[in-house]
Structure 1
Amino acid sequence: MGQGLSCTGSHEYGLFFFGDDEHGLFTAAQFGDVKRLKAVLERDPRLVNQTTYDRHSVLHVAAANGQIEIVSMLLDRSVKPDVLNRRRQTPLMLAAMHGKISCVQKLIEAGANILMFDSTHGRTCLHYAAYYGHSDCLQAILSAARSSHVAASWGYARYVNIRDGKGATPLHLAARQRRPECVHVLLDNGALVCASTGGYGFPGSTPLHLAARGGSLDCIRELLAWGADRLQRDASGRIPYTVALKHKNGACSALLNPSSAEPLVWPSPLKFISELNAEAKALLEQALMEANREREKTILKGTAYSVPSPSHSDTGTDDNISEVSESELCCICFDQVCTIEVQDCGHQMCAQCTLALCCHNKPNPTKTSFNAPVCPFCRSNIAQLVVANVKTDNEMDSKLRRSKKSRNLSEGSSSFKGLPAMGTFGKLGGRGSGRVAGENEWVDDKP
């Protein structure tokens, strides 16, 4: 975890090596000794600009170690938040690298530039958070990007898909490093699921290629659910299935096999889907992932890679089913409890049938506008979806338990029978130098 952080010296202090720390300045910053650091700076205020051999400032050391009191004190003393070390890394990059969320937030509040690039790999703080799997830091940086000058000058969508010196977006790094939570956050914020490391029309690796290489089933599930193309080829002409086979990731290769059933895909271009409230979105995402897990069971059945049974127990769930009134069952599948309501008409459906309705007319990625589906009961356009109103908390709990215990969605629920899977939203490559990365050229590099 300490790549690029070490300073030459004879004494090791956690993430850093300090040689001749005669004033105890960096040691105090490392361990959060506010009293000692204040005493040192009161004797000689100029020491606030002291750096180590690798030009790490006191702020670098404090941010990397999550010493929020030290960071706040230094910023109050007018220390620049974007001070650079020898590798042109900022304190924000080191805080994101080590998952120090409080320091990330404080530095951003102090005006730290989220659009700084290091000199080693041309990566930003967003790349660092994605590579090391700190989804909270990732979300904080993305939230800042929406309201900062970056959104106005670069554009938010461009920042989410920012490329490093070798063509990798944060989504590429998260997929390669087996970081499913970061993959989900990035996709949910507009990361291009089919972005290529090649630029100007040259082929390159997609996040799905890298997830296949890393062997992360969870990352592959997320990418496929957002429309990743199983047939897109990398610079060597390989599809993700071939990459998974080469690296002996058997379960991944089974899901990526072009001859296996297509997964259901989250219809993100539809406005009413992208603007869902958190509760409704969670219900629909759960329904989609459950449907795809049933597909996985079918694909992996009888192989050495069968999906294990859930760790939680459904004991007693059948008793709860009797508590639900027949009038609350979805009138489309007559299987699940209604949990989603269409506004403004007020008609209700289960999450599975709502998802099937939204996925039925798959969006065309070449069009700028998309036709919203219509309510199956009154034929009015669906403009917004919300969680269905319930009378009591116990009733809601019963509904959620009933929805969670769905039957085999590939066989039991009529809402998914014959449902075509959505294709990719387009093979969108990012802009870059046009240089094609080889198989091992960049993907294993670390910040």
Structure 2
Amino acid sequence: MMNKLKATAEPFQKYVANRDAKISGELSHQDCPHDKRFLASIKFKLQNDLNIGLRQEQEGLFLTLAIHQGFLESLQYLIEGGVDINQPYLLLSPLMHAAQFGKLECDRILLDNGADKDWRDEKDDAAIIKAATAKQFEMVEFLLDEGADPMGGKYRTNLARLCVESPQCLRKVLKRSPSTIRMKDESGITAIHNAAILCQFEAIKILAEFGANVDIMGPDKVTPLMDAARNGSQDIVQYLLEKGADVNHQDLRKSCRQLCTRLRRRE
């Protein structure tokens, strides 16, 4: 069966690979000619294949390709034909494929047709975590608005930490789930640590607004102040000092102490 599936998949994978170089948002419209051709190919293959097991595998392949390319008409056809919209393909659910590639309209169609927004993969991550990891912040906001669980990860993956590069998304996450502000990932990093490491000043201010502990210790007893100093972010260091960050922390590193001292002398 796998050999048959491979033989079926290869022409369609080649079809995708050989398509015009870039597929813009306009080509995802229902009237897209590429979508029409792809839909005709789907209909032909499914109508002429009587092997039920192979048909199910083909449906998963076609559904995934339709999502990746943003072919909305093909996607709708497959759903109306009874394809399982929660069946994983390549270890990810259709919603996850759409989420991590930023296919917002595909996710909208999937959810409108009953897709499980909190379905977990083998890593126990949900679609919202896949979107945040891929920096698809608009998708994260959309899934939150649709009621997705912000605690969508095996190790209580910190959604706030993943969203520090998007102030708007971060604010929405914190409003929906304030407790994420204190959560640590497997390595002990919180959202404010990550914001300091990535020099995300706006995120630091939002996290402080929501009550983040500016002296919270992460791996090796490192504080956000230390992370900011180590990465040379003087604005963040200055801001954290204004928020009462402890410059005399017993584990504060030399480089951080020196930068804090220079900033204080300027006052």
Q: TM-score, normalised by structure 1?
A: 0.44
Q: How far apart, in 2, do the equivalents of 1:31 and 1:218 lie?
A: 42
1:223 aligns with 2:240: yes
Kindly indicate whether the alpha-carbon contact (under 8 Å) linking 1:96 and 1:137 is maintained by their aligned counterparts in 2.
Answer: no
Q: Which amino acid aligns with 2:119?
A: V
Matching residue of 2:185: 164
1:57 — aligned with what?
93
1:71 maps to a residue whose letter is D
How many Å separate the matches in 2 of 1:66 and 1:219?
31
Aligned to 2:108: 72
If you compute each CA radius of gyration, which structure gives the higher value, 1 or 2? 1
2:163 is matched with which residue: 125, 129, 132? 129
The letter for the 2-side match of 1:136 is: Q
Q: Residues 21-70 of structure 1, C-alpha deviation per residue, up to 9 Å, x if partnerless?
A: 87432222123221111122233422x123233x2111112112222211
Question: Is contact 2:158–2:180 with CA below 8 Å preserved after alignment?
Answer: no
Amino acid at match of 1:80: D
Q: Distance in 2 between matches of 1:185 and 1:117?
A: 23
1:61 and 1:105 map into 2 onto residues whose CA distance is: 16
Q: Who is 1:139 aligned against? A: 171
Letter in 1 for 2:83: P
Q: Which structure 2 residue ranges, 5 or more long, are not aligned?
A: 1-8, 23-57
Aligned partner of 2:158: which letter?
T
Q: CA deviation at 1:206?
A: 0.7
Q: CA deviation at 1:138?
A: 0.7
Aligned residue runs from structure 1 range 31-50, under 5 A: 31-46=69-84, 48-50=85-87
**CA contact under 8 A between 2:129 and 2:153: conserved in structure 1?**
no
Contact 2:183/2:190 (8 A) holds in 1 = yes
1:261 positional shift: 6.0
1:161-240 pair list within 5 angstroms:
161-197=182-218, 204-234=221-251, 239-240=252-253
Aligned amino acid, residue 67 of structure 1: K
Report the CA distance shift for 1:166/1:101 in structure 2 as closer, same or farther (over 3 A).
Answer: closer
How far apart are 1:196 and its partner, in Å?
Answer: 1.0
Q: 1:377-411 deviations in whole A, cap 9, x for unaligned?
A: xxxxxxxxxxxxxxxxxxxxxxxxxxxxxxxxx6x
Tell me the CA shift for residue 141 of structure 1: 0.7
1:193 CA displacement: 0.3
Shift of 1:190: 0.8
Q: 1:89 aligns with which of 122, 125, 133?
A: 125
Structure 2 counterpart of 1:108, from 132, 144, 148: 144
Residues of 2 paired with 1:49 and 1:159: CA distance? Answer: 27
Letter in 2 for 1:218: D
SS at the partner of 1:45?
coil
Structure 1 residues 213 and 224: alpha-carbon distance in aligned structure 2, compared to 1, 3 A threshold: same
* Percent sequence identity over aligned pairs: 25
CA contact (8 A) 2:181 2:212 kept: yes
Aligned-partner SS, 1:231: coil
User: How far apart are the structure 2 equivalents of 1:214 and 1:172?
Assistant: 12
Aligned to 1:80, the other structure's residue is in SS state: coil
> What are structure 1's unaligned runs of at least 5 residues?
1-8, 15-19, 146-155, 245-252, 263-294, 299-409, 411-447
Describe the superposition over 1:202-249 as per-residue Cα deviations: whole angstroms up to 9, x where unpaired: x71111111222222233233222121122133xxxx24x245xxxxx
CA distance in 2, matches of 1:22, 1:76: 19
Shift of the alpha carbon at 1:176? Answer: 1.3
Shift in alpha-carbon separation, 1:233–1:87, aligned structure 2, 3 A: farther
Q: CA-to-partner distance for each residue in 1:110-151, whole Å, 9 max, x for gaps? A: 2211123335xx522212112xx1222111111222xxxxxx
**How large is the Cα RMSD of the aligned pairs?**
2.9
Question: Within 5 A, what are the aligned runs for 1:3-402?
Answer: 23-46=61-84, 48-53=85-90, 55-119=91-155, 122-130=156-164, 133-145=165-177, 156=178, 158-197=179-218, 204-234=221-251, 239-240=252-253, 242-244=254-256, 254-257=258-261, 260=262, 262=264, 298=266
Q: Structure 1 222/86 Cα, relative in aligned 2: closer, same or farther at 3 Å? A: farther
C-alpha contact 2:135 2:163 (8 A) present in aligned 1: yes
Q: Provide the residue aligned with 2:31 in structure 1.
A: none
2:171 partner letter: Q
Please state which structure has a larger fraction of its residues in helix: 2
